[in-house]
Amino acid sequence: MKWCANNMESAVFNFNQEHRLFEKGDTLFLAVSGGPDSLALLHFLPPFENHGI
């Protein structure tokens, strides 16, 4: 399970780098519905702060 999480985190990070959805200094507002896609987004966004984004 840990490998899957790291792989998914890398995929999210790389997708953002490629498409420049948000960059360092941006303020994000995150609304979640409680569905699996929203909870995954909630889980994978905080590590971006550790990458200086």
Task: Evaluate if residue 52 carries a pLDDT over 80.
Answer: no
Residue 50 neighbours by CB distance under 10 Å? 7
Domain residue spans of the chain: 2-50
Task: Evaluate if residue 2 carries a pLDDT over 70.
Answer: no
Nearest CA to 44 out of 13, 15, 21 is that of 13
**pTM of the predicted protein model:** 0.59
CB proximity list for 15: less than 8 A, separation 6 or greater: 21
At 3 the pLDDT is 46
The 10s digit of each residue's pLDDT in 4-46 is 567 877 888 888 889 998 888 888 888 889 899 888 888 878 7
What is the SS3 string spanning 1-48? Answer: CHHHHHHHHHHHHHHHHHHCCCCCCCCCCCCCCCCHHHHHHHHHCHHH
Task: Evaluate if residue 1 carries a pLDDT over 50.
Answer: no
Task: Evaluate if residue 51 carries a pLDDT over 70.
Answer: no
